[in-house]
Structure 1
Amino acid sequence: MTSARRLVSATSIVVLALAGAFSASPASAAPGGDVDPDTPWRMRHWPQTQPWQVDEAVALSGRSGPQPVDPQRYELPDTMTWDDYRAVPGTNWADPAVRGSERTFNGALVLVDYPNQPFVVTQPANSTIFGNPSGVQNLARADAPRFYRDFLNQPGELNRGHTIHEYWMEDSNGRFGIDLSAFGVYQMPADSHEYGIEAQMQRGQGCPAGDTCNRNLRTDARAAWIAAVGETEAAKYDFVFFLSAGQDESATWQEFGQMKFTTKEDVTDDFGPPDDALPNWNATRYVEWTSWQASAAIWPNASQGSSLQAESSGMSTYAHEFSHILGVGDNYNNPYSVPARRDYSGPWEMLSRGTFNGPGGPHSRWLIPGTAGSSMGAQHMLRNKMKLGIAGDVLRLSRAALADSGVVVTRVTARAVDQGLSGINVTLDGGDRSPACDAATDPLCDGGGYDNYTLEVVDRMGFDSFTPDSGVLLAKTKNADAAPFIWTIDANPQDIDKVDFVRPDGTPQMMTIGDYRQLSDALLHAGTNSGSEFEYVDTANRLHFYVLNRHRNSKGILSYDVAVRSLDGAGPSTRGVKAYPALARPDRSGWSRCTIPVRNTGRAADVFRITAPGATLPRTVIGVQPGRTATAEVWLKNTRRATVTLTSESNPAARATTSCTAVRA
C-alpha cells in the first residue's frame, strides 16, 4: 500500500527511569477549582469539549482545495492522557443504581495477603521496590477490602468515575451489569513468591531453598474464604475475583526486566531473591528473563468461575478475566516470539491487547492502584459480543446469499452506542478459501480456517476512548476459540516503525512486528488520501468490502455507510445510473469544485466507481439507494474540464459519463 500514515504525536519514545523516579504518580486528582458536589462525576471529570467539536473532517473544512473526507489521525496508546476520554452521549452506565436489563452478576471480591507481602496500599507512598503505592497509602489492613471494592466498582475520584459495572453496561448496551461484595483480608499460609513462581512461567527455575513454589493460590484463597464465611454464603455469588497483595507479573516483567537492566547479569541484588545461591534474574513468559522480583509475582488468570488479580491489575484486567469466566478465550500472540507472528486483534479487543488500553499505554501498568494503562480497556469486538449475546442488531449475511442478492449497502453505528446497526457478519459458507500460508516464515500469516468476516465501527468514546483511532474495523473470525480466532484486517500492514522504549544503555528498542501497537493504524477510512484504505478485496473468498462515507450527527455519534458484495454474482436487479454535468468557479487558490448529481436508476442499492482523468477526487466510490440521487465531488486545477464517468460495481455495463467544467470567475 502507498498510503502515507499520519500521526498525532511526533514520537513514541518511552523513556522510563525505573528506579526512584517511579515515585511520580499518575494524574488521578480531580481538576482544580470550585465544583458543585452534587454535579455527577460524568460532568466533573472529563473535558467538556464534545467529540464532534474536534472532529477531523470538520477541522479541515474551509481549507483551499480538496481535503480528505475522513483523514486518519491515529494515536499510539503511550501518549494518551485522561484528556482523551469522551463520554458516550446520553448514557451514565457507571450509575450503580442502573441494573443490567438481562442480568446483573453478583461477584465476590476476596482479598488475600502473605506473611512477607502486605497490601501495598497499606504501606507508605513509593516504599516498595517497584516504587508503589502511588496516590493512596497507609490504609489500615481492615480498610483494604472496602477500598478496592469502591475503586473497582463505585464511581469516585481515584477511578475518575469509571467502574467494572460501567464497562459491562457500556459494552453490552445495558444488558449486563456487575455487583461486588468484598471479603478479607485473609493471610495465605506461604510467602507470595511461592505462589508467583510457577512451573509454566518460570519453567521450574528460581524457587528459594526451603520454599515450596508453584502453590495453587486459588485453592488456598478459596479455602480461607470458605473457612470465614461458609459454603452457604459463598454459593450466593456468581463468580469470585481473588485479589492478591502486591504486583502482578504481567505488568512488571518488562518494565523491571529489559527496560531497567541491559542484560540479565545486570539485575541488582535488590531485585534478586532471598537466596544468595540463585541468580538475580529468572525466567518469564515471553522472553528468556526478567528480574527475580518481577518473576515472583502472580500472573492474572481465570478458571472455574473465578479469577486471580493483583493490586497493579487495572480495571481492564478484571473485565478481561470476567470474559473468560463467561466462556471466551484469549486471542493474542507472543510479541517476542521466534519466529515472529503479528498480533491477532490488537488494541481493538478486550481479549487481545485492548486490555492494556488506558492513559500512558502498556508500560504504565505497574502502578498501584492501577490508574493508568489497563484502566480503560477496549470493548469486545463483534465476534465476541455475538458469542456473549450482547451484540445488538447485527446484519447477518453469507457469501452465497450475497452472490444471489447482489451488493448490500447499509449504515453501521459506532459500537459504543446502542443505535442503529451495530455491525455486519458475513458467513464464509463452504469455508475459508484463502491460499495456505506458513506462520513460521510469514509473520503476517493469519493461519486460515476462518468462518466469517465481521465489520464494525469504532469511535474514540467511552471505553473505546483509549483505542488508537476511529474508523471501520474489519476482521476474519472463527466460530471456535482456537486462537487466532479474530484476525484484524490491517489497512496499513507495513511495519509501523516506532520506538517502543529506550534500553538502559541508550539503545532504542523498536516495536517488534508482533507488538499489538502495529495495529494502531489498522482501521479503514472513507475516501482517498486519508492515510488508510477505503476498500478491501478478498479475491480468494470472493468478497469486496467498501467504506463509502462517514457521518457524525449533532449528538456526536459516528456512523459509516459501508457496502459488501460478492465477486461471483450481482443478483437479479437491474442496474443503472445517470450523471449530470456541473460547472465550478475557481477559488483564490485556483481550485474549482464540481458537485456532480448521480442518480441510481436501477432497482437496488448500488456502489458506483468514479473516474475523472486529470481531476482530483475526494471519493472514488459512492453508494446510492435505488431511485435516489447522491453527489460526486470533482476538483480541477490547471485544467478547465474533466470527463467524469460513473460505473456500477455490480454491472460495469451500467455507466454514465458527464463533465465537470471550470468557468471564469
Structure 2
Amino acid sequence: MTSARRLVSATSVVVLALAGALTATPASAAPPGDPDTPWRMRHWPQTQPWQVDEAAALSGKGSGPQPVDPQRYELPDTMTWSDYKPIPGTDWADPAVKGSERNFNGALVLVDYPNQPFVVTQPANSTIYGNPSGVQNLARSEVPQFYRDFLNKPGKLNRGHTIHEYWMEDSNGRFGIELSSFGVYQMPSDSHEYGIEAQMQRGQGCPAGDVCNRNLRTDARAAWVAAVGEAEAAKYDFVFFLSAGQDESATWQEFGPMKFTTKEDVTDEWGPPDAALPNWNATRYVDWTSWQASANIWPNATQGSSLQAESSGMSTYAHEFSHILGVGDNYNNPYSVPARRDYSGPWEMLSRGTFNGPGGPHSRWLIPGTSGSSMGAQHMLRNKMKLGIVDDVLQLSRAALAESGVVVTRVTARTVDQGRPGINVVLDGGDLSPACDTATDPFCDGGGYDNYTLEVVDRMGFDSFTPDSGVLLAKTKNADAAPFIWTIDANPQDIDKVDFVLPDGTPQKMTIGDYRQLSDALFHAGTNSGSAFEYVDTANRLHFYILDRKRDRKGVLSYEVAVRSLDGAGPATRGVRAYPDTARADRTGWARCTIGVRNTGRAADVFRVTAPNASLPRTVIGVAAGKTSSAEVWLKDTRRTTVTLTSESNPAVKATTSCTSRK
C-alpha cells in the first residue's frame, strides 16, 4: 500500500549553532517595503501555484504513465516564509472585518520581574539565548503597544499575520479577536520562582532562600486589577498574560540536550544563582535540561486566561485560546518510555501543529517569535465541529452506510469557505478495533473511538506550513480524552530522518513519538504517489477511497472521495459498461488507452480497474449513476490487454473490454 516517498528539502539534518551566545537571526527576516503597508503584504509572493500548469508540474516530465497526485511532503524544519500562500478571494487579516458570530474582546497583560526585564528592551543578541533579534532597545513603556501590534495588527514584523486573522480563517469568518494591552507590571518575585514548578521540575532546582512554584497568573491579575480596577478587568472576555523572557517549551531541548551532550556538561553560565545546586534541572518530557531553561515559564491556560512568554509565537496564543474555548490538548510525550506515536501531529492546532512556521520546532526560542510557532495549523474537523465553526459536514454512520451503500462526494480544502468541508462517520455501536497495548506497541491508538473524520488539507493560508497537501483521515472521540484525535498514517513506517546533531557530532534521529513522523501521513489519489489511495478498517467494517484530485482556476483544491460499509451495498441495482480503445505507441514505446466507463446502475459507485501487463495511474474510479468517466491504461511491450471494471459494491458486476497498442 506504500511505496518510496519523495522528500522536498535541501537537507534532512537540522543543526543549530548553539555553542556559547546565540547570534542566529530568524528564518523570517522582515520583508522590504513601507512598514505602514497594511495586511496585503502577506500576499507575497505574487505568483501563485495555480497560475502555472500544475497538472504538468505534478505529473513530472517524460513519457509514459505518471502519478496523478504525487506526494511531495516537506519537513517543517526547511520551510521559509516563501512557503506561505494566500487563500484566493479572502483577506481575513483585515482588522475592519469582524467575526460574524462573535468578536472576542481580550486583554493583553504584560509583566516583568526584578531580575528579568522584557527582552525587547535589551540590546540585540545580548541574552544568553542570543535574543532579542530584529527588535531591541525598546523603552519599557513601549512594550505593551509593541506586543499588542505584533500579535494583532498587520505589519512588517509579523508579515501581516495576526491572531485575529487565524481565528477568522479557521472559523471562515465566524470568530474574530480584538486586543487591548496593559502594563508593564513588575512581579513581586524573581522569574524563576514562577518558572520552577513542583510538577515539571519535580521539586528540584529552587535556589536557597527563594520560594518557587509561585502562581504567576494570581500575582499578575492582582497587579492588573490594582492598576485598572475590577470594573475595567470585567469588560474583557479573556486575558492573555505575557511574561518577560523565554518560555520553557521553546528552550528545554535547544538549550538542554541539544546544546550539552550530558547534564554534567552544562556550564555555570546556564546554571542557577546558587552554587549548591547543579547546573541542570528536571523538565517536562525528559530527565534534564539546563537550569536556566528549566526556570522559564511553560505556556498554559485555565478558564478565561492563558500565560505566554516573549518567545511564544502567535500560534501559542491561538493554541491557548482554544483551551479557553473549551478544547483540550491532543499530543503525546515524544520522548516517553515506552514510546508512543504522536496523535494528530502537524495537522492540528491542539497538537504539534502549534509548532508550525518557518524553521520548524527548533526555531521557537527566537524573540520576537517570528519563526517556528508563528503560523500554526488550522483545527482538524473534529475540533471545528466542537467549536461550532464549520457547516455542511457530511454526516454518515456505519449502520446507515450498510443500508445505503457507497457514498461518493467531493471534499474541499479546509482553508477555503466553499464546498463540502469534510465527512464525519459515526461508529454506532462503538469502536470494534481489537485491543492493543500502548505499553508495547507505539502505534496502538488505545481504542474507544466514536467517529472517523475525513478532510482535505492544502498548503495555503495558515496551513501553508503543514508538510503536505492531500486527504487527512482520522479516528476521533466525542470527549476530550487524549488521544481524542488519532491521525491515520498513510506511511506508518519510521520516517528515518535526523532531528539534530549533538555537540559531539552524534546525529539524533527523530523518535517514533516525534510529531514529524506524521509529515507524510496524508492520503493521495492514484497509484505510485508515494502514499496510499485507500484505507480499509476491517474491524470497523469501513473502506475509504481517495478517487481524484482537482484544483480549480481560482486555486481551490478538492478531492473526490468515497466511503462504504463492508457489511452492505444498499438496495440500488449495480451495473457497468466499458468501451475499448486503441492507441498509437509514442517514440518510447508507450501507448495510452482511454477506456470509457459508464455506470449503468441506479446509484453512484466505485469501480476497480485491472489490466494484466499494463500500467494504471488509477485502479479505482468513482462514477455517478448514469454517467460516463474514463480509466487510463498504459501499454509497453504489450500489444493488447484485457481491461476489467468491477463494482466495489457488488463484485459480481463486471465489464470487460480491451486496450490495444498499434505501431
TM class, shorter-length: over 0.9
Closer, same or farther in 2 for the Cα pair 1:479/1:206, shift >3 Å? same
Q: Which moved more, 1:269-278 or 1:62-71?
A: 62-71
Cα shift readout 1:527-585 (whole Å, capped 9, x = no counterpart): 00000000000000000000000000001110000000000000000000000000111
Cα shift readout 1:452-504 (whole Å, capped 9, x = no counterpart): 00000000000000000000000000000000000000000000000000001
Q: Secondary structure at the match of 2:564?
A: strand
Q: Give yes or no for contact 1:392–1:418 (8 Å, CA) kept in 2.
A: no
In the TM superposition, what is the alpha-carbon distance from 1:55 to its structure 2 partner?
7.0
| Equivalences for residues 352-371 of structure 1 within 5 A | 352-371=351-370
Q: In the aligned structure 1, how far is the partner of 2:405 from the partner of 2:42?
A: 50
| Equivalences for residues 354-503 of structure 1 within 5 A | 354-503=353-502
Q: In the aligned structure 2, how far is the partner of 1:204 from the partner of 1:21?
A: 29
Q: Give yes or no for contact 2:39–2:94 (8 Å, CA) kept in 1.
A: no
Q: In the aligned structure 1, how far is the partner of 2:324 from the partner of 2:42?
A: 34
Question: Residue type of the partner of 2:477?
Answer: K
2:5 aligned partner: 5
Closer, same or farther in 2 for the Cα pair 1:54/1:356, shift >3 Å? farther
In the TM superposition, what is the alpha-carbon distance from 1:653 to its structure 2 partner?
1.2
Cα shift readout 1:566-610 (whole Å, capped 9, x = no counterpart): 000000000000000001111111100000110000000000000
Closer, same or farther in 2 for the Cα pair 1:427/1:193, shift >3 Å? same
1:324 aligned partner: 323
Q: In the aligned structure 2, how far is the partner of 1:53 from the partner of 1:296?
A: 49
Q: In the aligned structure 1, how far is the partner of 2:652 from the partner of 2:465?
A: 46
Cα shift readout 1:372-426 (whole Å, capped 9, x = no counterpart): 0000000000000000001222000000000000000000000000001000000
Closer, same or farther in 2 for the Cα pair 1:186/1:249, shift >3 Å? same
Question: Residue type of the partner of 2:15?
Answer: V
Q: In the aligned structure 1, how far is the partner of 2:42 from the partner of 2:487?
A: 36
Closer, same or farther in 2 for the Cα pair 1:336/1:27, shift >3 Å? closer
Closer, same or farther in 2 for the Cα pair 1:460/1:535, shift >3 Å? same
Q: How many residues align?
A: 662
1:25 aligned partner: 25
In the TM superposition, what is the alpha-carbon distance from 1:53 to its structure 2 partner?
4.0
Cα shift readout 1:189-231 (whole Å, capped 9, x = no counterpart): 0000000000011000000000000000000000000000111
| Equivalences for residues 187-202 of structure 1 within 5 A | 187-202=186-201
Q: Give yes or no for contact 1:121–1:137 (8 Å, CA) kept in 2.
A: yes
In the TM superposition, what is the alpha-carbon distance from 1:20 to its structure 2 partner?
4.8
In the TM superposition, what is the alpha-carbon distance from 1:49 to its structure 2 partner?
1.9
| Equivalences for residues 239-254 of structure 1 within 5 A | 239-254=238-253
1:146 aligned partner: 145
In the TM superposition, what is the alpha-carbon distance from 1:10 to its structure 2 partner?
4.8
1:48 aligns with 2:46: yes
| Equivalences for residues 432-581 of structure 1 within 5 A | 432-581=431-580
Q: In the aligned structure 1, how far is the partner of 2:511 from the partner of 2:54?
A: 30
In the TM superposition, what is the alpha-carbon distance from 1:56 to its structure 2 partner?
5.7
Q: In the aligned structure 2, how far is the partner of 1:219 from the partner of 1:555?
A: 50
Q: Give yes or no for contact 1:145–1:185 (8 Å, CA) kept in 2.
A: yes
1:273 aligned partner: 272
Q: Secondary structure at the match of 1:228?
A: helix
Q: Secondary structure at the match of 1:222?
A: helix
1:224 aligns with 2:204: no
Closer, same or farther in 2 for the Cα pair 1:54/1:115, shift >3 Å? farther
1:615 aligns with 2:614: yes
In the TM superposition, what is the alpha-carbon distance from 1:11 to its structure 2 partner?
2.6
1:116 aligned partner: 115
Q: Which moved more, 1:393-402 or 1:2-11?
A: 2-11
Q: In the aligned structure 1, how far is the partner of 2:53 from the partner of 2:339?
A: 37
1:107 aligned partner: 106
Q: Give yes or no for contact 2:31–2:156 (8 Å, CA) kept in 1.
A: no
1:588 aligned partner: 587
Q: Secondary structure at the match of 2:200?
A: helix
In the TM superposition, what is the alpha-carbon distance from 1:48 to its structure 2 partner?
1.5
Aligned-residue sequence identity (percent) comes to: 87
Q: In the aligned structure 1, how far is the partner of 2:157 from the partner of 2:34?
A: 18
Closer, same or farther in 2 for the Cα pair 1:427/1:661, shift >3 Å? same
Q: Give yes or no for contact 2:241–2:308 (8 Å, CA) kept in 1.
A: yes
Q: Give yes or no for contact 1:75–1:520 (8 Å, CA) kept in 2.
A: yes
Q: Secondary structure at the match of 2:516?
A: helix
1:15 aligns with 2:15: yes
Q: Give yes or no for contact 2:42–2:161 (8 Å, CA) kept in 1.
A: no
Q: In the aligned structure 1, how far is the partner of 2:453 from the partner of 2:53?
A: 26
Cα shift readout 1:248-298 (whole Å, capped 9, x = no counterpart): 000000000000000000000000000000000000000000000000000
Q: Give yes or no for contact 1:581–1:658 (8 Å, CA) kept in 2.
A: yes
Q: In the aligned structure 2, how far is the partner of 1:221 from the partner of 1:564?
A: 52
Closer, same or farther in 2 for the Cα pair 1:303/1:44, shift >3 Å? closer
Q: Give yes or no for contact 1:57–1:70 (8 Å, CA) kept in 2.
A: no
Q: In the aligned structure 2, how far is the partner of 1:270 from the partner of 1:556?
A: 52
In the TM superposition, what is the alpha-carbon distance from 1:21 to its structure 2 partner?
6.4
Q: Give yes or no for contact 1:31–1:45 (8 Å, CA) kept in 2.
A: no
In the TM superposition, what is the alpha-carbon distance from 1:46 to its structure 2 partner?
1.9
Q: In the aligned structure 2, how far is the partner of 1:40 from the partner of 1:663?
A: 61
1:256 aligned partner: 255
Any stretches of 5+ residues in structure 2 without a counterpart? none
Cα shift readout 1:94-118 (whole Å, capped 9, x = no counterpart): 0000000100000000000000000
In the TM superposition, what is the alpha-carbon distance from 1:19 to its structure 2 partner?
3.5
Q: Secondary structure at the match of 1:180?
A: strand
Question: Residue type of the partner of 2:403?
Answer: D
**How high is the TM-score relative to the length of structure 2?**
0.98
2:340 aligned partner: 341
Closer, same or farther in 2 for the Cα pair 1:55/1:491, shift >3 Å? farther
Q: Secondary structure at the match of 1:25?
A: coil
Q: In the aligned structure 1, how far is the partner of 2:24 from the partner of 2:533?
A: 43
Question: Residue type of the partner of 1:484?
Answer: P
Closer, same or farther in 2 for the Cα pair 1:221/1:57, shift >3 Å? same
Q: Secondary structure at the match of 1:441?
A: coil
Q: Which moved more, 1:10-19 or 1:394-403?
A: 10-19
* Superposition CA RMSD, Å: 1.2
Q: Secondary structure at the match of 1:347?
A: helix
Question: Residue type of the partner of 1:48?
Answer: Q
Closer, same or farther in 2 for the Cα pair 1:182/1:411, shift >3 Å? same
Q: In the aligned structure 2, how far is the partner of 1:521 from the partner of 1:214?
A: 40
In the TM superposition, what is the alpha-carbon distance from 1:167 to its structure 2 partner?
0.2
In the TM superposition, what is the alpha-carbon distance from 1:9 to its structure 2 partner?
1.4
In the TM superposition, what is the alpha-carbon distance from 1:39 to its structure 2 partner?
6.2
Q: Give yes or no for contact 1:615–1:642 (8 Å, CA) kept in 2.
A: yes
Closer, same or farther in 2 for the Cα pair 1:211/1:39, shift >3 Å? closer
Q: Give yes or no for contact 2:301–2:320 (8 Å, CA) kept in 1.
A: yes
Q: In the aligned structure 2, how far is the partner of 1:624 from the partner of 1:361?
A: 41
In the TM superposition, what is the alpha-carbon distance from 1:507 to its structure 2 partner?
0.2
Closer, same or farther in 2 for the Cα pair 1:511/1:568, shift >3 Å? same
Question: Residue type of the partner of 2:325?
Answer: L
Closer, same or farther in 2 for the Cα pair 1:37/1:264, shift >3 Å? closer
In the TM superposition, what is the alpha-carbon distance from 1:57 to its structure 2 partner?
3.9
Q: Secondary structure at the match of 1:170?
A: helix
Q: Give yes or no for contact 1:413–1:422 (8 Å, CA) kept in 2.
A: yes
Q: Give yes or no for contact 1:109–1:183 (8 Å, CA) kept in 2.
A: yes
In the TM superposition, what is the alpha-carbon distance from 1:31 to its structure 2 partner?
3.9
Q: Give yes or no for contact 1:456–1:472 (8 Å, CA) kept in 2.
A: yes
Cα shift readout 1:638-661 (whole Å, capped 9, x = no counterpart): 011110000000011111000000
